[in-house]
Amino acid sequence: MEKKKKFKIQNYRFVIQTAFALLCIWIGIEFYLFVRFLDSGGASGFFPRPPGVDGFLPISSFMSFYLFLKTGEISMIHPAGFFIFTAILLVSFAFGKSFCSWFCPVGFLSELLGDLGKLIFRKNIRMPKFLDYPLRSLKYLLLGFLLYSVMFVMSDMAVKSFLESPYNIVSDIKMYYFFADISRFSLIVISILFLLSIVFRGFWCRYLCPYGGFLGIMSLLSTNKIKRTASSCIDCKLCTKACPSFIQVHKVNTVISDECTSCLNCVDVCPVKDTLELKNVVLKKRVNKKIAAAGVVGIFILVTGFGMLTGYWQNNISKEEYLNHYKYIEEYGHPTDTKKMRELNEESGSKNESVTPERKKSN
The site for ligand SF4 (CB under 6 A) is made up of 226, 228, 233-239, 242-245, 247, 249-250, 255, 260-266, 269-270, 272, 275-276
CA distance 326 to 35: 9
Strands ordered across the beta sheet of 224-228:
224-228, 276-280, 285-286
CB of 13 to ligand SF4, least distance (A): 10
CA distance 58 to 88: 11
CB of 24 to ligand SF4, least distance (A): 22
Q: Is 87 or 263 the residue whose CB approaches ligand SF4 more closely?
A: 263
Instruction: Give the CA dihedral 170, 335, 178, 59, nearest 10 degrees.
Output: -80
Q: Is 171 or 219 the residue whose CB approaches ligand SF4 more closely?
A: 219
Q: Is 229 or 356 the residue whose CB approaches ligand SF4 more closely?
A: 229
What does the chain come to in residues? 363
Q: Is 1 or 195 the residue whose CB approaches ligand SF4 more closely?
A: 1
Q: Is 124 or 356 the residue whose CB approaches ligand SF4 more closely?
A: 124
Q: Is 243 or 303 the residue whose CB approaches ligand SF4 more closely?
A: 243
Please tell me whether residue 285 adopts helix, strand or coil conformation.
Answer: strand
CA distance 191 to 305: 36
CB of 289 to ligand SF4, least distance (A): 11
CB of 311 to ligand SF4, least distance (A): 37
Element (H, E) at 276: strand 276-280
CA distance 200 to 213: 18
Residue 230 burial class via C-beta count within 10 angstroms: exposed 0-12, middle 13-18, buried 19 and up: exposed
The one-letter code for the residue type at 352 is N
CB of 149 to ligand SF4, least distance (A): 30
Phi, psi (rounded to 5 degrees) for 267: -65, -40
Helices of type H across 181-227: 184-199, 203, 210-219
DSSP state of 150: I
CB of 239 to ligand SF4, least distance (A): 3
Q: Is 53 or 255 the residue whose CB approaches ligand SF4 more closely?
A: 255
The one-letter code for the residue type at 33 is L
Residue 272 burial class via C-beta count within 10 angstroms: exposed 0-12, middle 13-18, buried 19 and up: middle
CB of 267 to ligand SF4, least distance (A): 7
DSSP state of 102: H
Q: Is 206 or 325 the residue whose CB approaches ligand SF4 more closely?
A: 206
CB of 193 to ligand SF4, least distance (A): 21
